[in-house]
Each structure stands twice: as structure tokens, then as C-alpha cells.
């Protein structure tokens, strides 16, 4: 599996940002499930589950990046570095599976169909493409981008239909997340794109957090 190039000065900051993403997505997911319990809306349930899956993916990514940066900073032994490397490989797989599952759940929500078999087939097909690919990291970013393109267009149509500011904020958030994933595709060869991808993700989740605060106030 190819690794992205992380600029030396950005090591540590990526873990902090990913932990922030974990907190924001956890709050969004938990609040969506709270709405589901109050209203029984199936869309809120799926939205909440998808964001909790994404939050778990960010938590794992943040912990792994922190462990890797700590082992390098402390000058750990070769045996310890090998253990961290093996753990990172396993963690990357878990992160990709959780994140993709979250996006698939979100895309399934937008289809507004009630067929668990269709969802399972959709998810299995995408995970099979990811896990059987020769360059899993590249395909992870490519598949994430494809799913985010569809989700972004869904929220764009939702905004054009309702003309609500909240819908525009959500669309802008997913669009920023899409551009972030596209930047990560190029980060396999260039470290600057890795930083840009994280910053675009930060913009996306700040917008989602703003929208959540507005919803809570209302």
C-alpha cells in the first residue's frame, strides 16, 4: 500500500485536526440519532449512523498518526517502529472500511429506499473493489470522491428546491469534503496536497458544526 507524503512540519497537527473531526462528527451523529428518537424519522437514523461511522474512522486515524509521530520523535527501537508500522497498516484498513461504510450509508439514505439487501449489495460491491485493488489508498480516495460527488449533488438539489440557508451550508460542507478527498489523491506524491486536503476537511466540518448549532438554537 502506498503512503501519502506528510510534510515534516505538519506531523502532529494532522492528529489534532483529525481528533477535531472526530468530535464534530460524533456530535452530529449523536444529535441526528436524538432527532430520530424524538421523531422516528428514518432519514435522521441513517444520517446519524453514517456520521458515527465516519467519526470512528477519524478517531482511529488520529490515534495512529499520533502513535507514529510519537515513535519517531522519541527515537524508538527498530522493533517498536516495526510494531507501530504493522499496527498502522491494520488501522488504515479499518479507517478506510469505516469511512467508506459511512459514505455508503449516507448515499443510501439519499436514495430513500427501504431495502437492506440493496444496501448490503451496494456496500459489499464497493468494499470488494477497494480491498481487491492493487493500490488501496488511491482507490479509497477515488471511491470516496465518487460517493461525495453524488451526495453533494443531492444536497445541491435540496438547496435549489427549498432555498434554505441550512441546505446551502450542508451542500458547501460536502463540496469542501469532496475537494479535500480529491486533494488526498494527489497527496500520495506531493505533501502539499495532504495539507490542503486536511484544511478543506476542516472547512467542511466547521460548516457542518455551524449548521448543527443553528439547528439546536431553533
Q: List, for residues 75-111, the tens digit of each pLDDT value.
A: 555 555 565 666 667 778 899 999 999 999 999 999 9
Q: Is residue 196 part of a domain?
A: yes
Torsion of CA 61, 125, 141, 104, to 10 degrees: -70
Q: What is the domain count for the chain?
A: 1
How far apart, in Å, are the Cα atoms of 130 and each of 43, 95, 127, 135, 142? Answer: 27, 12, 5, 9, 10
C-alpha 148/C-alpha 115 separation (Å) is: 22
Give tens-digit pLDDT for 50-61: 999 999 999 998
What are 196's three cell numbers? Answer: 490542503
**pLDDT (0 to 100) of residue 174:** 94
**pLDDT (0 to 100) of residue 152:** 94
DSSP state of 133: S
Instruction: Quote the mean pLDDT of the chain.
Output: 84
Q: What residue numbers bound the domain in which 32 lies? A: 8-217
**pLDDT (0 to 100) of residue 147:** 95
Lowest mean pLDDT, pick from 10-14, 113-117, 153-157, 201-205:
10-14
pTM for this one? 0.87
Q: Is residue 168 part of a domain?
A: yes
Please name the residues in contact with 97: beta carbons below 8 A apart, sequence gap of 6 or more: 127, 130
Q: Band of the pLDDT at 47, cuts 50, 70, 90?
A: very high
CATH number at residue 146: 1.20.1070
Average pLDDT over residues 30-38: 90
C-alpha 190/C-alpha 24 separation (Å) is: 28
How far apart, in Å, are the Cα atoms of 188 and each of 15, 52, 214? Answer: 18, 27, 37
How far apart, in Å, are the Cα atoms of 139 and each of 97, 127, 182? Answer: 12, 10, 11
**pLDDT (0 to 100) of residue 11:** 73
Closest CA to 61 of 24, 93, 30: 93
Q: Is residue 1 part of a domain?
A: no
Q: Is residue 3 part of a domain?
A: no
Average pLDDT over residues 178-194: 75
Q: Band of the pLDDT at 2, cuts 50, 70, 90?
A: very low
Q: Is residue 100 part of a domain?
A: yes
- CB half-sphere exposure, 211, CA atoms < 13 A: 22
Query: Does residue 108 contact residue 122 with C-beta atoms inside 8 Å?
Result: yes
Amino acid at each position: 500500500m502506498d503512503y501519502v507524503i506528510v510534510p515534516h512540519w505538519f506531523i502532529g497537527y494532522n492528529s489534532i485536526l483529525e481528533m477535531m473531526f472526530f468530535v464534530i462528527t460524533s456530535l452530529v451523529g449523536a444529535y441526528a440519532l436524538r432527532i430520530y428518537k424524538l421523531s422516528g424519522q428514518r432519514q435522521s437514523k441513517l444520517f446519524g449512523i453514517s456520521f458515527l461511522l465516519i467519526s470512528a474512522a477519524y478517531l482511529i486515524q488520529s490515534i495512529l498518526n499520533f502513535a507514529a509521530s510519537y515513535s519517531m520523535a522519541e527515537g524508538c527501537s527498530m522493533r517498536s517502529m516495526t510494531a507501530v508500522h504493522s499496527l498502522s497498516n491494520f488501522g488504515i484498513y479499518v479507517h478506510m472500511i469505516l469511512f467508506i461504510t459511512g459514505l455508503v450509508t449516507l448515499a443510501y439514505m439519499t436514495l430513500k429506499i427501504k431495502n437492506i439487501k440493496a444496501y448490503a449489495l451496494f456496500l459489499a460491491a464497493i468494499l470488494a473493489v477497494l480491498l481487491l485493488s492493487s493500490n488501496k489508498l488511491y482507490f479509497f480516495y477515488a471511491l470516496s470522491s465518487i460517493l461525495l460527488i453524488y451526495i453533494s449533488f443531492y444536497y445541491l438539489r435540496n438547496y435549489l428546491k427549498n432555498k434554505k440557508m441550512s441546505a446551502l451550508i450542508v451542500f458547501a460542507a460536502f463540496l469542501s469534503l469532496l475537494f479535500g478527498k480529491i486533494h488526498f489523491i494527489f497527496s500520495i506524491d506531493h505533501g502539499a496536497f495532504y495539507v490542503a486536503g486536511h484544511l478543506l476537511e476542516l472547512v467542511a466540518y466547521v460548516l457542518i458544526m455551524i449548521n448543527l448549532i443553528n439547528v439546536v438554537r431553533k
